[in-house]
């Protein structure tokens, strides 16, 4: 057994209360490495085709990578399941300390199946695994439940994943909270956890992750830290987290404003790093062993919301809960995001849903509830909607808890024209009009509209270089090739479960050196691209098997029908011809047929065809 992996998965069946371990097969380690790749293969093999995401058979999996729990910088954790929001593959990442603890408890991943009859929590203390009653925790918010489990276990150092009322109520974009300020946010993993009546997972481990060649590993860690220090992107992240992106997106016309009606917002600077630092930040914080320290823990210091502890309002939340709702007071935005965190809802999707509801209200498609006016800029309305959605205790909450795609279908009329989603996942905070490759990225992302599967936008709107040539923002030629390279590398390194921000600095050669020294096996810089290509074919196959229609490889109608009203991209929208050109190019370069299906030849070439099926033993 090579070092660095723990060599086994922990399976828990909540239906029977039983648990067992299974060896990680050699072929999985050598062909798939860990993280996203393990999750994609296990989801395919363990889930019956067409499985309801809320069925007991849909596994909820927490995956680690071979470098998790070592001193390699900037590693995170990964949740994989079938998304109830999109019906597709879902991988969602979280920082903090939980994922290393899974390794210290002796596991490369935890795979939870079945459905408990009553609320439970899972207590994993090295080899000891207990399914404990949690009726007394049901109804608590995600942070209260975290504290309550720690108190019950009489150990403040136990690491916890928990859900809030939204997950219990199966709000389709519920998140899983990791400790107090990290979340696996996108796609509804919290609702899957809620469907299993699983309130929390607590883990404590006393093992160590062994390293094959400690000297070589130490040298590789020094190199990784040097890579991070050299990167301007990483330095910016250290200074201001992701919040400086508010100004960047605003200046380049990418910022969502009032449900993506515009690409700039008149008070964007209030939401940026400088705007936030005036009212919120106190100090930096980090996930285990990360030298970037992108978190800016603090407290709201002034105004109506003064007094509560908050993390940085990171870019996606600042944009989607701020400018996208026409709200410019960053203290109010921090308050709304904190409500989402406590109730356990993805603040990105929630911002998208509320933006949709506010526009529907202004168009007269939704009536104002309880005398609250559904209009942009109304913080009270946003808070009302968050509570209604989390507790699904009124008709509007029930409607919006399903996400914008389903809500628009239920409303009818022209509601789908301003429902901002791809494949059901609410759009990330980057309006792609004026950045052609970014549109293609959203069209093709394997979990629906997503900015973390390759984001050409910064290169496109700044005229940056790709392979020695300047990138033209509106050009469609060459975008598929550029995007595929980005997608493959990111997916390949997601098998490591690295943090994307660390990936801004750490070079592929350094990741390979870390892996080689840790495992004792030879790894090379170019294998992440090959592994990524394998992963993209695995997830595509899974999505097609689950009913994905390639016609869903598209963009929200607004990006095709409504020209941007202002900013450097003023007047631009996506044409059907441009989208068809890029998609055809994309399918062809991926080795997929004209309907977007991987061919037999491609599956063989990338090594998907020959992978054995993973069989669970109980
Ligand atoms: S960069 Fe930020 S999110 Fe990423 S590992 Fe470091 S502290 Fe965590």
Query: What DSSP string describes 214-260?
Result: HHHHHHHHHHHHHHHHH-HHHHHHHHHTTTTHHHHHHHHT-S-BTTT
Q: Residue 286 has what pLDDT?
A: 84
- How confident is the model over 52-83, as pLDDT tens digits? 999 999 999 999 999 999 999 989 999 999 99
pLDDT above 80 for 281: no
Residue 286 CB–ligand 1 contact under 6 Å: yes
pLDDT above 70 for 42: yes
Give ∠ CA 153-156-162 in degrees, rounded to 5.
Answer: 70
DSSP designation for 551: G
Q: Residue 457 has what pLDDT?
A: 94
Ligand 1: centre distance to CA 323 (Å):
25
Q: Which atom of ligand 1 is nearest to the CA of 76?
A: 5
Residue 287 CB–ligand 1 contact under 6 Å: yes
Give phi and psi for 589, each to the nearest 5. Answer: -65, -30
Inter-axis angle of helices 436-444 and 479-494, nearest 10: 50
Residue 499 CB–ligand 1 contact under 6 Å: yes
pLDDT above 90 for 280: no
pLDDT above 70 for 282: no
Q: 439: helix, coil or strand?
A: helix
Site to probe by mutation for ligand 1, drawn from 292, 316, 504 as the one with most ligand atoms within 8 Å of Cβ, is 292
Site to probe by mutation for ligand 1, drawn from 179, 295, 314 as the one with most ligand atoms within 8 Å of Cβ, is 295
Q: What global pTM score does this model have?
A: 0.97
Residue 501 CB–ligand 1 contact under 6 Å: yes
Give the confidence band of 542 by pLDDT, cuts at 50, 70, 90.
very high
Q: Whose CA is nearest to atom 5 of ligand 1?
A: 74
Q: Which atom of ligand 1 is nearest to the CA of 285?
A: 7
- How confident is the model over 107-149, as pLDDT tens digits? 999 999 999 999 999 999 999 999 999 999 999 999 999 999 9
Q: Which atom of ligand 1 is nearest to the CA of 500?
A: 4
**How large is the average pLDDT for residues 5-29?**
97
pLDDT above 80 for 1: no
CB distance 404 to 353 below 8 Å: yes
Give the confidence band of 298 by pLDDT, cuts at 50, 70, 90.
confident
Site to probe by mutation for ligand 1, drawn from 76, 240, 311, 315 as the one with most ligand atoms within 8 Å of Cβ, is 76
Relative to beta strand 198-204, strand 120-125 is parallel
- How confident is the model over 501-524, as pLDDT tens digits? 889 999 999 999 999 999 999 999
Give the confidence band of 288 by pLDDT, cuts at 50, 70, 90.
confident
- How confident is the model over 406-417, as pLDDT tens digits? 999 999 999 999
Above pLDDT 70, what percent of the chain? 100
**How large is the average pLDDT for residues 274-300?**
82
Q: In terms of C-beta distances under 8 Å and separation of at least 24 residues, what long-range contacts does 547-550 make, across chains too? A: 547/50, 547/87, 548/87, 548/88, 548/423, 550/595, 550/596, 550/597
**How large is the average pLDDT for residues 21-42?**
97
Q: Whose CA is nearest to atom 3 of ligand 1?
A: 95
Residue 290 CB–ligand 1 contact under 6 Å: yes
Q: Return mean pLDDT, the chain.
A: 95
Q: Residue 302 has what pLDDT?
A: 85
Hey, CA dihedral for 314, 420, 44, 27, is it positive or negative?
Answer: negative
Q: Residue 93 has what pLDDT?
A: 96
Contacts of 602 by beta carbon, 8 Å cutoff, 6+ apart: 537, 590, 591, 592
Tell me which residue has tokens 């609410």: 426
Identify any residues that bridge with 133 across adjacent strands, giving them in sequence order.
Answer: 120
Give the confidence band of 238 by pLDDT, cuts at 50, 70, 90.
confident
Radius of gyration of the chain (CA): 23
- How confident is the model over 325-380, as pLDDT tens digits? 999 999 999 999 999 999 999 999 999 999 999 999 999 999 988 889 999 999 99
Ligand 1: centre distance to CA 430 (Å):
21
- 82 closest CA partner among 102, 54, 101: 54
**How large is the average pLDDT for residues 484-493?**
97
Q: Residue 276 has what pLDDT?
A: 86
Residue 74 CB–ligand 1 contact under 6 Å: yes
Neighbouring C-beta atoms of residue 23, cutoff 10 Å = 12
Ligand 1: centre distance to CA 571 (Å):
37
Q: Residue 209 has what pLDDT?
A: 97
């Amino acid at each position: 057994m090579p070092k660095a992996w723990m060599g086994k998965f922990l399976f828990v069946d909540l239906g029977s209360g039983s648990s067992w371990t299974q060896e990680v097969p050699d072929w999985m380690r050598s062909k798939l490495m860990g993280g996203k790749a393990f999750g994609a293969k296990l989801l395919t093999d363990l889930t019956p085709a067409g499985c309801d995401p809320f069925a007991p058979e849909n596994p909820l999996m927490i995956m680690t990578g071979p470098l998790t729990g070592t001193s390699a910088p900037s590693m995170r954790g990964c949740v994989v399941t079938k998304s109830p929001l999109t019906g597709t593959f879902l991988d969602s990442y979280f920082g903090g300390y939980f994922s290393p603890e899974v390794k210290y408890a002796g596991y490369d991943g935890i795979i939870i199946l079945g459905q408990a009859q009553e609320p439970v929590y899972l207590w994993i203390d090295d080899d000891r695994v207990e399914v404990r009653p949690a009726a007394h925790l049901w109804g608590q918010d995600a942070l209260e439940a975290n504290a309550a489990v720690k108190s019950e276990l009489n150990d403040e150092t136990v690491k916890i994943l928990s859900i809030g009322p939204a997950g219990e109520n199966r709000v389709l974009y519920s998140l899983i909270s990791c400790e107090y300020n990290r979340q696996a946010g996108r796609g509804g993993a919290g609702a899957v956890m809620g469907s299993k009546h699983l309130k929390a997972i607590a883990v404590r481990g006393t093992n160590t992750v062994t390293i094959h060649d400690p000297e070589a590993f130490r040298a590789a860690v020094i190199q990784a830290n040097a890579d991070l220090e050299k990167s301007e992107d990483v330095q910016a992240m250290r200074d201001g987290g992701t919040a400086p992106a508010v100004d960047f997106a605003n200046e380049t016309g990418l910022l969502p404003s009032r449900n993506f009606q515009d690409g700039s917002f008149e008070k964007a600077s209030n939401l940026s790093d400088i705007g936030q630092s005036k009212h919120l930040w106190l100090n930096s914080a980090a996930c285990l062993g990360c030298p970037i320290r992108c978190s800016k823990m603090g407290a709201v210091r002034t105004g109506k919301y003064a007094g509560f502890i908050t993390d940085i309002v990171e870019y996606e939340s600042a944009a989607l809960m701020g400018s996208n709702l026409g709200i410019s007071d960053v203290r109010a935005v921090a308050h709304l995001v904190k409500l989402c965190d406590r109730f356990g809802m993805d603040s990105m999707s929630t911002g998208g849903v509320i933006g949709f509801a506010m526009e529907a209200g202004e168009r007269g498609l939704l009536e104002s509830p309880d005398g609250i006016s559904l209009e942009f800029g109304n913080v009270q309305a946003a808070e009302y909607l968050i509570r209604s959605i989390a507790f699904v205790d009124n008709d509007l909450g029930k409607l919006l808890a399903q996400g914008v795609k389903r809500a628009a279908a239920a409303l009818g009329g022209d509601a789908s024209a301003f429902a901002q989603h791809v494949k059901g996942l609410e759009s990330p905070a980057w309006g792609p009009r004026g950045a052609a490759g970014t549109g293609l990225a959203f069209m093709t992302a394997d979990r629906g509209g997503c900015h973390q599967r390759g984001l050409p936008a910064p290169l496109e709107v700044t005229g940056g270089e790709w392979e020695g040539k300047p990138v033209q923002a509106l050009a469609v030629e060459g975008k598929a090739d550029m995007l595929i390279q980005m997608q493959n590398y990111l997916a390949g390194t997601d098998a490591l479960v690295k943090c994307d921000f660390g990936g801004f600095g750490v070079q592929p050669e350094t990741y390979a050196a870390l892996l080689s020294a840790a495992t004792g096996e030879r790894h090379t810089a170019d294998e992440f691209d090959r592994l990524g290509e394998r992963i993209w074919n695995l997830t595509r196959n899974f999505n097609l098997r689950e009913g994905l229609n390639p016609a869903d490889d598209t963009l929200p109608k607004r990006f095709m029908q409504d020209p941007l009203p202002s900013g450097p991209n003023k007047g631009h929208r996506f044409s059907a011809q441009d989208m068809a050109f890029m998609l055809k190019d994309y399918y062809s370069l991926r080795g997929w047929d004209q309907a977007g299906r991987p061919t037999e030849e491609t599956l063989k070439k990338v090594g998907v065809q020959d992978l054995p099926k993973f069989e669970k033993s109980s």
